Amino acid sequence: MKNLLQTALITLLTVSLASAEVTLYVAPDGKDGGPGTRGAPLASLAGARDRVRQVKREKPGEPIAVLFSAGAYPMAGPVEFSAEDSGTPEAQVAYRAEPGALVRLGGGRSVGPWQPVADPAVLARLPEEARGHVRVADLGAQGISDYGTRTVRGFSVASQPAEAELFCDDRPMQLARWPNTGFRGVEARDSLQRVEVDTDRLARWTDEADPWVFAYWHHDWAELCEPIAAIDAEARVLVRSEKIKPVYGLTPGRARWYAYNLLSELDQPGEYYLDRRAGRLYFWPPRAGGSTVLSLAESLIRAKDLSCVSFCGFTLEACRATAVSFAGCSACKLVGCTIRNVGHKAVNVAGGAGCEVFGCDISYCGEGGIAMAGGDRPTLTPAGHNAENNHVHHYSRRARTYKTGITVSGVGNRIAHNLIHDGPHMALSAGGNDHVVEYNEIHNVVYESGDAGAYYVGRDWTQRGNVLRYNYWHDIVGESSYGGMTIYLDDQHCGHTIHGNLFERCNQAVFIGGGDDNIVTNNVFLGCRRAAHIDNRGMGWQKAATDDPRGTLRRGLAAMPIESPLWKSRYPTLAGILDDEPNIPKRNVFARNLSAGGTWDAIHAGTRHYQTIEDNLVFDDDSDWVRLVKDEAGRPIKLELKDPEAVRRIGFEPLPLEKIGVYADSRRASWPVRHEVRPVTLPPTR
């Protein structure tokens, strides 16, 4: 299959180049400033951009294709693109890897040589079992002195570029930590600063130069990474800085934490420690002879006000912030790229219109995968950005919460046919209006957090018109007692259409937190702990916030022209919401859904008469009433029903299972796409 796709890609590229008047070439052994011919290629992306500018002046209106030969292209910093680098709809500019070529645009430097540790003081601090395995590299001898700054990060903390990170064989390594997996607890606290923990391990850390702690101090959706100010080993107390305040306080019994950046805990393969003062990097390699890279560049591609330019087939890696940024760009595309091992997001699109991220493989990003914002909410003007056929996994490894696999915001954007898995918190979000989220597969997310959603939006009456249809959600459970929701419309969020989705082994599948006008139809729930939920929080614990004229809900309402003819025609029940008992959830619909082998109904009894709940077929005690048939790769292909006629009578429409997920396309970064699914065990229904 891959050979067929490569042949198709070569054919597609040949046709494209046949129509292009200008073709430029780039190679690792090229020279910038030259003509960029096959015989005298350019050497870098920056050099190619500059040559394109010359060609545009010499031959205005001609399409331009820039082809990169296989090899590594080190980047010390981002290549900046602006309006002068734009193409036009008739004369596109395309930067491409040659067919079948591995073209690596990297912001890192190789590290080595690695030597056995000989310093007696360092050996004494290393765990005994690690002393014969840990190696050291002298970064100063390689001219590497910029290690970046390790900054506080986490919930409600503005993103900063990551410090230098170590990657081995194209995977991120772990700053030495304890415990190696999981978390420890908090016994008590004298104050926010003095935290008594449940271990005497602290005695090992008293000589550490810069110990840090990662913690969920209260909520399971609000993490904090911060330096440890001091250690009182005798009292088993971590001393926190007085300058850093956990947003929701610190609660013994709920808090969980681990410590990291500890030379004394470098005790397993894959862990490392950087002695910043001495410029020495200590590392236990997972295998001998592995390729080791330290991230140095902040980002790789930055474009502002750019139009009609595409970047295709590259591997973009080892930078400290977001790899690719489009600001105010139109009709720009990132196609068939592999983006990995970056400090922040893979791609950020801010403003503009008609941009696309298609067919990319995205992994091990520090703060989420793809973010696309665009469109004008007051006028409901769509941006038309599109994230399609991407594989996003093992993301949010540095900042763990509210950093989604893919998110859109604004108006009229689309998330379609993506595969997203292995994220500690959210997978998808669509903030704003009139977005479409369709044909995606999402699994094994929200695995480290609780009271969180695989798809999450919250606390806005005006963000309506969003459609979630024909997605496959499975094996989503969450960490804490609140668990993980699948589709979570939090704090009175309204106006979603949830149609034709397949939910399998989900803790709480559709969770409506007190909002109005949400339509849930034609979905299938298999083995879900709770399928349908509506609560009345606006009448209870959230009533004061709902009634507050300065609160989030009413400020969001006042910010939009809800009385305008456009908004009234689009969202007819919104204009009068303040005169229609806004605390009470109304006009939600659960109809023509199938549920088997779980628990169907968690709809608040006191508000049930405000909703439409009809024509649902529910078989909580019969998991075989609906049986899901899958192919060898685990993709669903058919629903087998005990009583097909009963399903037809309620008007249930067959689900287009064959269209869900990523699909073969000559523009994809790889095919077939492989991923591991870990079936979850759901907690009992209480």
Asked if 565 and 574 touch (Cβ cutoff 8 Å), the reply is no
Q: Verify that 286 and 160 share a domain, yes or no.
A: yes
Residue 3 has a pLDDT of 43
- Residue 206's alpha-carbon distances to 175, 200, 383, in angstroms, are 18, 12, 54
Q: Which amino acid is at 178?
A: W
Domain assignment present for residue 171? The answer is yes
One domain for residues 257 and 114:
no
Q: Is the pLDDT of residue 2 over 50?
A: no
Do 132 and 255 belong to one domain?
A: no
Mean pLDDT over 557-578 rounds to: 97
CB 360 within 8 A of CB 339: yes
- Mean pLDDT over 274-301 rounds to 97
Q: Is the distance from CB of 400 to CB of 421 less than 8 angstroms?
A: no
Same domain, 190 and 229: yes
Type and span of the H or E element at 640 = strand 636-641
Residue among 430, 414, 481 at smallest CA distance from 452: 481
pLDDT (tens digit, 9 = 90+) per residue, 296-355? Answer: 999 999 999 999 999 999 999 999 999 999 999 999 999 999 999 999 999 999 999 999
Over the chain, what is the mean pLDDT? 95
Q: Scanning the structure block, which residue is given the tokens 């009139």?
A: 434
Block residue for tokens 């590594």: 72
Same domain, 156 and 200: no
Q: What is the mean pLDDT of residues 541-569?
A: 96
> What CATH number is attached to the domain comprising 234?
2.40.30
Do 246 and 270 lie in one domain? The reply is: no
C-alpha 530/C-alpha 510 separation (Å) is 8
| Of 476, 596, 582, the residue nearest 536 (C-alpha) | 582
Place of tokens 């700054």: 149
pLDDT the model gives residue 483: 87
Is pLDDT above 80 for 473? yes
What span, in angstroms and rounded, lies between the C-alpha atoms of 109 and 535?
53
Let me know whether 127 and 273 are in one domain.
yes
pTM over 0.75? The answer is yes
The residue segments making up the domain with residue 193 are 177-264
The predicted pLDDT at position 18 comes to 42
Average pLDDT for residues 540-552, to the nearest whole number? 95
DSSP state for residue 537 in the 8-state scheme: G
What is the token pair recorded at 198? Answer: 């449940």
pLDDT tens digits, 391-432: 999 999 999 999 999 999 999 999 999 999 999 999 999 999
What is the distance between the alpha carbons of residues 196 and 403, in angstroms, rounded to a whole number? Answer: 30
Assess whether pLDDT exceeds 60 at residue 10: no
Do 186 and 132 lie in one domain? The reply is no
**Structure confidence at residue 123 (pLDDT):** 98
Q: Determine the average pLDDT of the residues in 222-245.
A: 96
Domain membership of residue 531 (yes or no) is no
Task: For residues 4-28, give the mean pLDDT.
Answer: 61
Asked if the model's pLDDT at residue 8 lies above 80, the reply is no
Read off the pLDDT of each residue in 668-681 and give the average, rounded to a whole number. 96
Of 264, 282, 303, which marks where a domain is finished? Answer: 264
Question: How many domains does the structure of the chain reveal?
Answer: 2
pLDDT in tens, 169-189: 999 999 999 999 999 999 999
**Euclidean distance between CA atoms 232 and 250, whole angstroms:** 18
User: Does residue 114 share a domain with residue 258?
Assistant: no
Question: Quick check: 356 pLDDT over 50?
Answer: yes
CB 97 within 8 A of CB 337: no
Residue type, 473: W
The per-residue pLDDT for 480 is: 78
Please report the pLDDT score of residue 315 as a whole number. Answer: 98
Q: Is 579 exposed, middle or buried (0-12, 13-18, 19+ CB in 10 A)?
A: exposed
What's the average model confidence in pLDDT over 439-468?
97
Share of the chain above pLDDT 70, in %: 97
- When pLDDT is cut at 50, 70 and 90, the band that residue 482 belongs to is confident
The pLDDT value recorded for residue 4 is: 41
Q: How many Å apart are CA 126 and CA 264, to the nearest integer?
A: 5
pLDDT of residue 36: 98
Q: Which residues contact 82 (CB under 8 A, 6 or more apart)?
A: 303, 304, 305, 306
pLDDT for residue 686: 57
Q: CB neighbours (10 Å) of residue 514?
A: 27
Residues whose CB is less than 8 angstroms from the CB of residue 314 and which lie 6 or more positions away in sequence, other chains included: 68, 95, 97, 103, 104, 105, 337, 338
Residue 213 forms part of a structural domain: yes
| Residue 162 and residue 185 in one domain | no
251 plus 270 within the same structural domain: no
Query: DSSP per residue over 592-628, as a string?
Result: S-EEESS--EEE-GGGGGGSEEES-EEETT-TTSEEE
Is residue 245 included in any domain, yes or no? Answer: yes
Q: Is residue 168 part of a domain?
A: yes
678 lies in a domain? no
Q: Which phi and psi (to 5°) does residue 428 adopt?
A: -135, 155
Residue 15 has pLDDT above 50, yes or no: no
Assess if residue 162 is contained within a domain: yes
Check whether residue 225 and residue 288 sit in a common domain.
no
Residue 126: pLDDT band (50, 70, 90) is very high
Query: Is the pLDDT at 16 greater than 50, yes or no?
Result: no
Rounded Cα distance between 160 and 321, Å, is 8
Residue 82 included in any domain? no
